[in-house]
């Protein structure tokens, strides 16, 4: 079965410190993986995607993620958090029907 697990429901960091949002997946085939960000009462914005090319994927706003097959992980990182990064982040796995399977989300708080 396909599934996505976001290990932390809430992550709090100080401005200027690194961000790590964790995502693990389960898939019986080679996965496509995505990270989206959602600000309050807004739709989702694509941060980055992995589709079987380079395992280290760079996205927008300084975010990047590394696909690790051996660990079935696709963690999202950013070297230095900014106040504007405070939002909800969703990891998603591409389904076999063209759909997306979402994790439960991680709320990122950034303290000044």
Contacts of another protein in 35-94 (CB under 8 A): 36, 41-46, 49, 51, 90, 94
Residue number with CB closer to another protein (16 or 95): 95
Report residue 106: phi and psi, to 5°.
-130, 125
Residues 6+ apart with CB under 8 A from 41: none
* 79, 104, 109, 111: which one binds another protein (CB under 8 A): 104
Which part of the chain contacts another protein (CB under 8 A), choosing from 14-22, 28-36, 63-71, 74-82? 28-36
Q: Is residue 100 close enough to count as binding another protein by CB under 8 A?
A: yes
Burial of 31 (0-12, 13-18, 19+ CB in 10 A): buried
């Amino acid at each position: 079965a396909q599934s996505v697990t976001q290990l932390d429901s809430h992550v709090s960091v100080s401005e200027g410190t690194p961000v790590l949002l964790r995502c693990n997946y389960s898939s019986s085939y080679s996965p496509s993986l995505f990270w989206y960000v959602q600000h309050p009462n807004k739709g989702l914005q694509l941060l980055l995607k992995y589709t079987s090319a380079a395992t280290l994927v760079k996205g927008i706003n300084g975010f990047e993620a590394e696909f690790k097959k051996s660990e079935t992980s696709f963690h999202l990182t950013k070297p230095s958090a900014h106040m504007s990064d405070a939002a909800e982040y969703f990891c998603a796995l591409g389904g076999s029907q063209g759909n997306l399977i979402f994790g439960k989300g991680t709320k990122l708080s950034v303290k000044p």
